[in-house]
Amino acid sequence: MKANVKQSSHSPRSFSYLSKEAFALCFAFGLIWLTFVSCDLAGSYQASRSGNNDAVIAPGIANSIDDVETQTVINSIITKVEEIRGLTTSLSEINTITDNEWMLFLDDLFSKEYTLQQSLLDQVEWELLGLISPGENLRNLRYQLLLGEVLGFYDSDTDQMSVLDRAAPDSGLFKMVVAHEYAHALQDAQFGLKETDDITGRANLDLQLAYTAFVEGDASITGLKAFEALATRGDRNDLRRSVGKTEYPGLHTTEYYLKERFDFPYKYGVPFVENLLERGGWDRVNLAYNNLPVSTEQILHPQKYLKYENPLTVEITDFSPYLPSGWAESRRNTMGEFWLELVFNKGHLKKGVGGEGWGGDQYVIYSAEDNNLLVLKTVWDTVSDHEEFLEILASEFAVEVGSVQPSQGDLSGVRKRGDWSDREKTGVIIDDGSAIYLVIGTDADAVVAIASAI
């Protein structure tokens, strides 16, 4: 099919982002891609940084490139992507937008899809887990990353693709962006990305992250195959120049945890889809849209997806009646294997370490005025897995397993393997034999109340 190119300023809602660090990593490591996922904002977020930590900006659209030439470039990409993927769509428009238009789009997106209440709860959760200091603003960090580094997106609400004019139409960068985002357009036309995203929702962020990884792994492989088929030596050289030097955030900083979570759908979605391709080509990938992966565990370990090994259902009792007046539940969700590994085991995602024996989990956040508390319940596949995660938690919070450390409040009657206290938080790790609980909060009395009720 053919697509018209024009400048436009519509407001995107549910869409996938693409930026330059993906290309840098592609050259360095092969099929390694990055992503942005947060609540209803699901899709790919990819970033490239120069040595001074500023985004590398590609040249603007050259005046010598007229619409006919650009149309020819785009149509060749579309034809190749459709040929590779074996799908078609009625998409008829690709927009080019300026940085200022993108800023307006992003403002609108955050106001509608990432509400202040959601971002405040994210801030609370990250503070309780020790991923961000109270002085940092998680919402602003996410916004700034996207504002400076996005190159293109596909909007499934309007069936339109947009490419920022940071990528010139005669550049390799432009070709890569168009190929990737057009793959999303094909997915949406055939499988209904928005409808599926609405179904996954925010009630289980682990499931949503797994779904996004599958979709982005598909688009990444498709886009790269199309680029490799069409790219000239000049395109490849241009892409190398455009991405500049990639700089990774310092280990275990807030930016590190953001970026690792953003990276997941590309870094692990690609090998997941490759596994399906090896077993049955694109027909096997297409079939998976009718039987989506339901956890990051299945993305990390494709054999568990193929064996239909789904997570165990884990429910945390409503502890509200045990808390003082004024406390209320503010969030209930699932962390999943990937996030548990990253937060508590510093991302050691390899065989025999930490989360591979994850069976299921749930966490709840309770809030009261300026105080917050998190309860996490995990279950594991084997006794060995259970004990391993217990040791990881104890190490993370500097607690001797089986001992009791000084704490605020009275935990003498609690079945515990360790508890601790610092100036900001009080917590306890509880092992009841079948599940491991982590209770951590800013109010010692509330922590004691829930720990005593478990």
Q: Model confidence over 312-322: pLDDT tens digits?
A: 999 999 999 99
Q: Which of 168, 235, 193 is nearest to 15 (CA)?
A: 193
Per-residue pLDDT, 347: 55
DSSP codes, 339-354 = HHHHHHHTT--STTSG
Going from the N-terminus, what domains does the chain have, and what CATH number goes with each?
A: 4-300 (no CATH), 320-453 (3.30.200.100)
Q: What is the pLDDT of residue 7?
A: 38
The pLDDT value recorded for residue 274 is: 97
For residue 393, the model assigns a pLDDT of: 87
The predicted structure's pLDDT at residue 237: 87
- Closest by CA to 16, choosing from 268, 225, 194, is 194
Q: What is this structure's pTM?
A: 0.83
Q: What is the reported pLDDT for 29?
A: 31
Compute the distance between CA of residue 23 and CA of residue 18 in angstroms, rounded to an integer.
10
∠ CA(215), CA(217), CA(218), 5° rounding?
Answer: 65
Q: At 430, give phi and psi (nearest 5°).
A: -120, 130
Beta strands 328-333; 41-43: pairing state: unpaired
- Tell me which residues of the chain have a pLDDT lower than 50: 2, 4-14, 19-65, 349-354, 402-408, 413
- The token pair at 437 is 């609980």
